[in-house]
Chain A
Amino acid sequence: MIIYVSGGCKNGKSSHAEDWAIRLSGGKPLYYIATMIPHDDEDRARIRRHIESRAGKNFITIERGMDIAGVIPELDAGGTYLMDSVTALLGNEMFHDGIIDADAADRTVRDLKALTGSVANIVFVSDFIYADQGLYDEFTDGYLQGLAHIDRSMAEIADCVVEIVLAQPIIYKGSLPE
């Protein structure tokens, strides 16, 4: 089963996503693909909070900020995975080594689709960043378009698509695991 989760920041996406991954795993191994590559103390504090929130939930953490395709051969085909977040992954793929990688969004869609085909269950966490007045520079706008392309491509193949608003799930497709 594929669950795609998005919503505003600090609205409880990760915590719900963790719970759904646990339900999907049915006691089988549970993995957490952490995509943030920390750049400063704020990032490190955010990662620490996420690690604390996962403590005791039996997630095996895989730190992978780029090249998801490269890690697929090592994955557990019977495992349940949680990727948090697609947003950070695209940032890493698009902006690295001082360049803007124009192929990043398409490549990420390919990688994530390959990933979904290689594991039993997966929950993706993305971010809803599209509802302000926009008018960004072309790099930021390119990032918005890229993330929206990933969101829509993955929502199309997902079994369940859910927006989290103030910790309340709003289901757009399918149903959540019991």
Chain B
Amino acid sequence: MELIIGGAYQGKLEYALKHYGLTGADVFDCRDFSFEGGAKPDFSKKILYHFEAYVLACMRAGVSPLEWLPEEAIVISDDIFCGVVPIDTEIRAWREECGRTLTAIAARSSSVTRIFCGLPARIK
């Protein structure tokens, strides 16, 4: 497992594609996914992109974001947990669930990389 985090629009996906020599075909964009109609996430892709959106989908469906997570994947997530505590109950819970989930993923990852202005810093 490898984890890439960073603020919005910092170039995380561009970095991952280049660093691992992958293409758009290797990317599962979690923003396009919901559990509606019994759908399951396609975690056969190498890159799980916008994982923070998957965490929200999981919360809405009442499942754990770690449940279907494969042993090997490149997880990319926006760092959404540094701002002011949101007033909205669901967004507030989402922010916390992202922090917990990504900390758990970081623990089982062989590398954690933070992207800042398009540049990587390996923090694990």
Question: Is A40 among interface residues, defined by CB-CB distance under 8 A?
Answer: no
Name the A residues within 8 Å of B120 (CB-CB). 172
Check A155 for interface membership: any CB of B closer than 8 A: yes
A151-B117, A172-B116 are contacts. A133–B7 as well, Cβ < 8 Å?
no
The closest CB in chain B to the CB of A153 belongs to B118
Residues from chain A with Cβ under 8 Å of B41 in the complex? none
CB distance from B116 to the nearest CB of A (A): 6
Q: Tell which of B83, B86, B94, B117 has the most Cβ of chain A within 10 Å.
A: B117
Q: Quick check: is A103 within 8 A (CB to CB) of the other chain?
A: no
Residues of B within 8 A of A152 (CB): 10-11, 117-118
| Neighbour of B83 across the interface among A133, A151, A156, CB < 8 A | A133
Binds A, one of B19-27, B61-69, B74-82, B102-110: B74-82
Find A144's partner among B8, B79, B117 (CB 8 Å cutoff). Answer: B8
- Residues of B whose CB lies within 8 Å of any CB of A are 6-11, 78-84, 86, 91, 94-95, 116-121
CA distance A129 to B79 in the complex (A): 11
* Structural contact, B119 and A131, CB atoms closer than 8 A: no
A124–B121 Cα distance when bound, in Å, is 20
Given contacts A6-B117, A172-B121, contact A133 B9 (CB under 8 A): no
**In the assembled complex, A134 has its CB within 8 A of some CB on chain B:** yes
Determine which residue in A4, A128, A132, A152 has the highest number of CB atoms from chain B within 10 A of its CB, and name it. Answer: A132
| Majority-rule SS of B interface residues | loop
Q: Is the CB of B7 within 8 A of A130?
A: yes
User: CB within 8 Å of B: which of A126-178?
Assistant: 128-135, 144-145, 148-149, 151-152, 154-156, 161, 163, 170, 172-173
Chain A residues 54-78 with CB under 8 Å of chain B are none
> Which chain B residue has the least Cβ–Cβ distance from A136?
B8
Nearest B residue to A130, CB-CB: B7
- Given the contacts A155-B117, A163-B116, A172-B121, A131 and B11 also touching, CB distance less than 8 Å: no
**CA distance in complex: A130, B9 (Å):** 8
- The minimal Cβ–Cβ distance linking A17 to chain B, given in whole angstroms, is 15
In chain B, what residue has the closest Cβ to A128?
A: B7
Contact across chains for A161 and B81 when beta carbons are under 8 A apart: no
Residue of B nearest to A171 (CB): B121
22 residue pairs A–B, Cβ–Cβ below 8 Å: A6-B117, A130-B9, A131-B6, A131-B7, A131-B81, A131-B83, A132-B80, A132-B84, A133-B80, A133-B81, A134-B8, A135-B91, A145-B9, A148-B11, A151-B117, A152-B11, A152-B117, A152-B118, A155-B117, A155-B119, A156-B118, A173-B119
